[in-house]
Every structure is written in structure tokens, then in C-alpha cells.
Structure 1
């Protein structure tokens, strides 16, 4: 679904710095404190006092009683106590601007009042019953959700997570003819951080990552983005040769790595999440889908991170590439942090699943359905997609100024509020900034009150994917914090 004002994003006509765009949002003009540490925009929300265990007690429990594979960010972990909209508070009531949204999961804002009210209302009525019985919420929500999709994507399966959703999508593809952490899915994710060292894949093959910044092909005309790679190329405007080169590589995978060139499915994000917000060359998915379908496969769009208006120009990431998938997976932002997931597909593919019983105990339960409904309604009523387009474009243009100012900022990329900033030793070589230097900058931004994610093949990419309710004042504050952190890093040289 196209955001109608997307052709005039840079003018930002409907937002003014410091205006209270929504009655419950915390907004103000970011100012510079006397000690040169940026001052966070004011917020009238008052968090409650923390009365639970202290940090040392929690760290002890985590070490002795929780999954040992869990890790924490930062030298001194952030011990979060409460959240409201775009902000988090720790147990000492220090406020942070959340630019990571619980790994791109909090979509319309922490504890958004409308979502909280919907959950509370449903929990007082009915928490759970088997889907063998009928209850209204799952049917109301299913109709509202599929109405957001183009074409013949009309059948929804509800799950509890993105891993479950992608697992089900791959099952559908197999029956019909980092995407998750189940053994069935590990072969889909190429990034080693998220894979165990044991045989995985179940027949998966990886195509070359079509990265216009770090890949073998790419340049200044490759991305449908307010920010383009600094690399020079000889591609004429609107005719990206890099796209064709990456598609040729995909065709080689089909020709030489698949039995008789046949393929079951192709799964991809429109903009990579864990991969460091890598944005595919414009037109890549359209040509890739053509190759896959010509070889007997179905096309799966992973919208776990890119969906629900986050890219601004369109409601779904795949729409930004002008394609129509056969199967779409979603989670994270679908429930604003409530554990939910879904798969949407065509009636024809859904019919193949009817050959056996497929059941999910908690998928589409009454509370989850009520939360999902509320999220869809907030996105529409508050013009969240339009906000992502306008505020996201402003954010990227301000980040480009940092790229021009600091040698350490190699690339700014993305769309809407799905943004990546890649840090390098120098722009000419594009050598990834060493981990200890990335960590130092990252710690400084946290200490000044901004929480940013990390990702990418080398762990040198800042992942900026905030709750989709941030304001221009929040952007100004974030830019001031990053500028201070980059300046401090430069002064150490």
C-alpha cells in the first residue's frame, strides 16, 4: 500500500519540530546542555518506582538459572524497568530513547494506551480457548489483516513468533512443490552468529548477498532510498547494472547447486534485519522472483521486520520492490511486542495444507487477536506509515550529514524507519571498524541516553529501527548524540 505523499517526503509538510503530533507522545525540541552533552526532549510521563531485585541479584539469577547462550549489550547492562512510547526507563529512572525497539519489535510504541486497553478488555472477557471452538476475535482480526494485502493473499495462519512463521512457510513451500532459529530454518540464515556448528539446512542454498555497498557490484544509483552508497559506478540513472549481476549469480546457484535447476522456494527480506539493514538493489526481487518461478519455486517474503508500514513508502516491504509473493511471513511488530506471528498465503497454497491437520495451540488466541487488531487500528488512525516516511527520510538526511562529516561513517542506508549506519576505518577501503572501536562509540551513545542496535556481517553496523512513533525532536537529539560520540572517537586518533 503506497504512501501517497512519498514523492514529497523531503518537504515534511505535516510535521514541525517540537509540535505535539499526538496527544500522548513525549515531544519537545532537543537542545544542547551546558556541558555539551545533548539534552533529551522533555517527556511528561512519570514512570513508577522500581521495587524489585537490584542489578546484582538479576545478574546472578541470569548466570545461574537462565539460558547460558543469552548475552547482554553494554559493559553495564541496561536494566529496564518501564517503557512508554519511544522511551525506556531503567531501575534508577534514567530515561533512554529507544532506537532499537526490542529488536524491531515495538512498532507503535511501548505500552501504547490503545493496545494496552485492547489487551486488558479482552483479558477480562476470555484469555484462551481452543480454535476448534469459535470465538469472534480471531475471525475479526483475520479479516482485518488480510485486507492489508494485495492480490490473492487471502488466507492467514496464526503463530507465536517469526521462527514459527518462517518454519510454516517453508513447510508450505515443500508441500506445494536469519529467518529463524529452529533447526528446520537455520540453513536459511547465512550469518554465523545465529547458527550452531552442526549440520543444518535441509537442502537450503545461499545466494550471494546483493549488497550495493560492500558487495562486488554496486554504486550510486542502486537503492530505492534517500541515501545512496558513496561508491562510484557507470550505471545510468534508473538502470542498475549491479542488480543484473547479482541476479546472474542467483541463476548460477540454481543452475549448479539445485537438482536439475529445480527449486522449492526463495525467501528474502526486502531490507535485511540482522544483516545490517542491507538494502537490495532496486528491482532485484522482481528479477529474482521471475527466475525462481521459472524453475518451479514459490516466493516467500519475510516481513518480520519490514512490515506494517515501517518502510514508509509502502505497508509491506515486498511492495517497495514491486513484487507479489506467494507466501508472506510476519511477527515482531504485528503485536507491538506481544508474542505473535502469522503467515499469509493464497487459497491455492493453503489448500495443499489441508491434506493433514495443522494446529497451533496458542496461535490466534483471543488476547493476541485483540492486540493485533489494536495495532492495525493505531497504524491507520495515527498515520504511522506516513510518519515513517517523513521522519525516516529526515533521519536519513541528517545521518548523511554525519557521513559527510566523519570518516568513520562509511554508509547510511535504508528506508523509512529501517535504517543502517555502517562504521569503517576509512571510506576509501571500507575496512570494517574494529569491534573495540565500534563498542566504544556504542557505549558513548548509551551513556548519553540513546539505545541503538548492532548487526551486520562484521558487527559494525548500527541498526536504527525505533518504535514508529518517534518525533523530529527525537531525531535531532539522536543526531546530536551520535555526532558527539563520533567526534570523541575522532579526537582519540
Structure 2
């Protein structure tokens, strides 16, 4: 095997007789940071304790990563190996690992007041609430602070039922709203289910997925990337949205008590389900139907909020809707365990007849973190960075889609991006509906290869065949270029393994 110099500085292209010139070996962008020495338990002890003393968790990689420190978009393992974090703890690290302003805010507040519980008042609570509601539509002015997205959605479910006096709640197939209590039934992904009852009066309408659903195509998404399917829709009228809306109406016709629905939950872009975007106009019509039948509309902004999608601070704004309740978590605290439910003062009063309490909600340190996150997003223009770098990334991925048949779809907005991998792009009919998701073995191979080259990504979708990218919002175009180089190399490795009949 001989080597030729790449046009990319720092890369070499090996020549392979079977495949010709293959993709360059990626080189991590340089950084001005040296991690401190690792002083924790040995890797072997950590794996032993994980197996014997910790509740079982699905491991991301064949060789689990023992991560111990981070800096902005970078993570380091126990050996000091550096990784570009393009998953951000599932859209959780919003402004960067160990961002100095966040760590300083934690230290200042912890030195002053660490915890008093919600039965007392403290100034940081009001400072944070004032900043948060300034980002919301005018009537959404009442905040309940909690600790996780699941807890926020559980409270939103309770509020919808208390306020309306109704019980039936609708969500969308392929959604993820958490797996605590009744949320097991609200979430509509079989991988999250146990063989147990999951709550009452919970219904799922058809997922309006314009890539592999029944309807949709190249004119349907509010995204820099459209599907390659043919489409009956025009730029001003989405026929697919109308057809999926008809399915929601059918649910009302056959499964719900007339004009007695409690609420409707929707992620403005489905996250765990594989970064699925709804056709333009669908959510607006769905909201109108829910409200005309007595229900409240809940926007789950747990993964999409805080400027991640670029054009708007909350992605429900891109749909032209105003929810009755908004739930948020993850990026709200840059990894600090906090979340919130924001609604109108009238809906919030529904909790008054009973007793609802959270010991740690509104914790002074959490509020200090929340304030700093909002200020960093604004001061460092991270929402704008999400738009510019995210669009650049999507365009690069679309270029790869034209080159690699395994890439069936590229979708998303800002720094919330999904790449769906398929074994065969289209069926034999003229529908353009994709068939055969790429096998789990192949996905595992690609994901592990990326990790070995220093790139951390997520996996999602009902068939776990979607690569998910939700990095800290401080990533750069150089980071994107590195990511693209790694993906190219990982896909080349996949094709080589397939050629050798190893996959």
C-alpha cells in the first residue's frame, strides 16, 4: 500500500487496490488545554463495579469509556485520550464542558448559600425566573423549577388533566417524553416499554415522518436539508401535513371522547426518535384541533430549547404556535440537574387545591447556573453559532449523502442533526419510501470506529439506525470538518468490512 499526499493539510490518503483512494486519516484540531493527570479508580476496577454495584446501563461502545474531565467541546478518558463530543450528553451540555463562567457561578453560589428548599425564598430564584420568562411568550409567565425533563413532563401531564378536568392525552408515535410513571405510556417507543401497565387514557397519533412515513418529500421540512423523495407539496401548501393531520382527526373520531381531551404533547423536533421533523404546518393545525376540543398544548423543548436549533430560542416558534405549557431541561443547566415547567398563571393555579412539592427544585446553586447559562448563550452568541455552524454541518452531510448510498436522509436544524443510515435507499416501487434500516451490527461498527478516531456521537430512532449530533453550542467549523473526515473514514471501513463479508 502506497501513500499519496492529501490536499487536506495533516492528512494522508492510503491507496487500496480494491477501493482506490480512500478517505484520509483524521487529525484532531489543536487545542490549548492539557488535562490534569487521572487519579481515579483503575479502568479494571471501574468495569468490575459497573458490573457488580451499579444498576445495569446500556453501554455506548464495545470498550466502555471512562471519562474524567472535559473542556468546552472536548472530553478526556482515563488515559488522557481526547474526544470531540458531538453528542453533548444528549443535547445537555449547551455552552461547553466546564465552561469557566459556569464553574465560577457554581463556586460563588455554593460559598454563599447551597440549599434551603422551596419552603423558603431566596434571591437567586427570582433573578432566574425573571430572566427565563423574558425568553417566553408574554402569557407564559409562571415557572415551576424541577430536576429533570421526566419530572417536568410528569408535572405538565398532571397540570393538563387538573386544569381541563379531562383525562385523555395525545402524543405522537416515535416520541420520547421520559420513562417515569405515566410517561412510560406517553412515550411511544417500544424500546422504552416493560411488560407492565403504563397509565390510562394515553393515545398516540401517527408520526408525520416525511422520510419514511406514508406521505412527504422534498418540499415538506423547515430545514436546510430535505428528503430526496418526490413530493406533491408546494412551498406554500404541504399536502403531507394535511394527510397526517387527517390521521389525528381520525383518532378524535374513533378513540377520544368528543371535546373532552386533556392535552397534546409534542417535541418540536423528535430527539430520541431520530431527529424527526414534522411537515410544515402540521403542528399548527394539530394545536388548533386540540384547543377546539378543550385540551392544552404542551411543547417539549427538553432537547430543542435554548437556541440549539439556531433560528429561534425555542423551536416551537418555528412552527408558528404558542403552547399552553412548555417543558425544558438538559441545556437549561449545561449538565447541572435542573429543569422547568413554564405556563400561564391561570393554569398554574390548578395545583392549589392539592399539595405538590419538590425538595430540590429552585435550588440556589441551580438557579445561579441557570442565570449564567442564559447570559453565556447571549454574550457568546451561541444561538447564532448554532445556526451558522449547524447549517455548515448539514450542507457537508448532504454532500456525503450524494456520495454514499448508505446515507438515506440528513435532517435537522442548527446543532440538532440526524443522519439516517439504510441498507437500501428506496423500495422497488415509485414511492421513494426507504427500506431496510442499516443493521445494528453495522451501526455498532461505525459508532465504535468513530470513537476510536476521537469522535463521540449518539444513536437514535426506533430502529437505532440514526446518527445523532447535538454537540455543545460552542463547536466550530474546524470541528465539523474533523467530524466529516471521521465519518468518511468510518463509512469506508464499513464498506471494506462488507466487501469482506464481515457485516
| Structures share fold, TM-score greater than 0.5 | yes
- Aligned residue in 2 for 1:328: 326
- Aligned residue in 2 for 1:11: none
Matching of residue 370 in structure 1 with residue 365 in structure 2: no
Following superposition of structure 1 onto structure 2, how do residues 30-429 of structure 1 map, counting pairs within 5 Å?
31-33=10-12, 36-68=24-56, 70-177=57-164, 178-260=176-258, 262-429=260-427
Contact 1:409 1:422 in 2 (8 A): yes
In structure 2, the CA distance between the partners of 1:123 and 1:458, relative to structure 1 (3 Å rule), is same
Within 1, Cα distance between the matches of 2:149 and 2:384?
Answer: 25
Q: Secondary structure at the match of 2:205?
A: coil
Contact 2:117 2:362 in 1 (8 A): no
The TM-score, its normalising length taken from structure 2, stands at 0.91
Q: Secondary structure at the match of 1:158?
A: strand
Q: Secondary structure at the match of 1:356?
A: coil
Q: Following TM superposition, by how much is the alpha carbon of 1:337 offset from its aligned partner in structure 2, in angstroms?
A: 0.3
Q: Following TM superposition, by how much is the alpha carbon of 1:31 offset from its aligned partner in structure 2, in angstroms?
A: 4.2
Q: Secondary structure at the match of 1:399?
A: helix
Q: Following TM superposition, by how much is the alpha carbon of 1:261 offset from its aligned partner in structure 2, in angstroms?
A: 5.1
Q: Secondary structure at the match of 1:167?
A: helix
Structure 2 unaligned regions, length at least 5: 1-7, 15-23, 165-175, 428-433
Q: Secondary structure at the match of 2:342?
A: strand
Structure 1 unaligned regions, length at least 5: 1-28
Within 1, Cα distance between the matches of 2:478 and 2:233?
Answer: 37
Q: Following TM superposition, by how much is the alpha carbon of 1:30 offset from its aligned partner in structure 2, in angstroms?
A: 7.6
Q: Secondary structure at the match of 1:74?
A: coil
Q: Following TM superposition, by how much is the alpha carbon of 1:93 offset from its aligned partner in structure 2, in angstroms?
A: 0.5
Within 1, Cα distance between the matches of 2:267 and 2:249?
Answer: 19
Q: Secondary structure at the match of 1:280?
A: coil
Contact 1:308 1:316 in 2 (8 A): yes
Within 2, Cα distance between the matches of 1:194 and 1:372?
Answer: 30
After TM superposition, the runs of 4+ consecutive aligned structure 1 residues lying more than 6 A away are: none
* Structure having the larger proportion of residues in strand: 2
Following superposition of structure 1 onto structure 2, how do residues 405-484 of structure 1 map, counting pairs within 5 Å?
405-429=403-427, 430=434, 431-484=436-489
Q: Following TM superposition, by how much is the alpha carbon of 1:72 offset from its aligned partner in structure 2, in angstroms?
A: 1.0
Q: Following TM superposition, by how much is the alpha carbon of 1:260 offset from its aligned partner in structure 2, in angstroms?
A: 2.8
Q: Following TM superposition, by how much is the alpha carbon of 1:449 offset from its aligned partner in structure 2, in angstroms?
A: 0.8
Q: Secondary structure at the match of 1:38?
A: coil
Contact 1:188 1:204 in 2 (8 A): yes
The number of residues matched between the two structures is: 464
The TM-score, its normalising length taken from structure 1, stands at 0.92
In structure 2, the CA distance between the partners of 1:228 and 1:83, relative to structure 1 (3 Å rule), is same
Contact 2:259 2:292 in 1 (8 A): no
Q: Secondary structure at the match of 1:168?
A: helix
Within 1, Cα distance between the matches of 2:85 and 2:476?
Answer: 12
In structure 2, the CA distance between the partners of 1:326 and 1:490, relative to structure 1 (3 Å rule), is same
Within 2, Cα distance between the matches of 1:30 and 1:118?
Answer: 40
Contact 1:162 1:341 in 2 (8 A): yes
Q: Following TM superposition, by how much is the alpha carbon of 1:180 offset from its aligned partner in structure 2, in angstroms?
A: 1.2
Alignment deviations for residues 136-165 of structure 1 (CA, whole Å, 9 cap, x no partner)? 001110111011001300000000000100
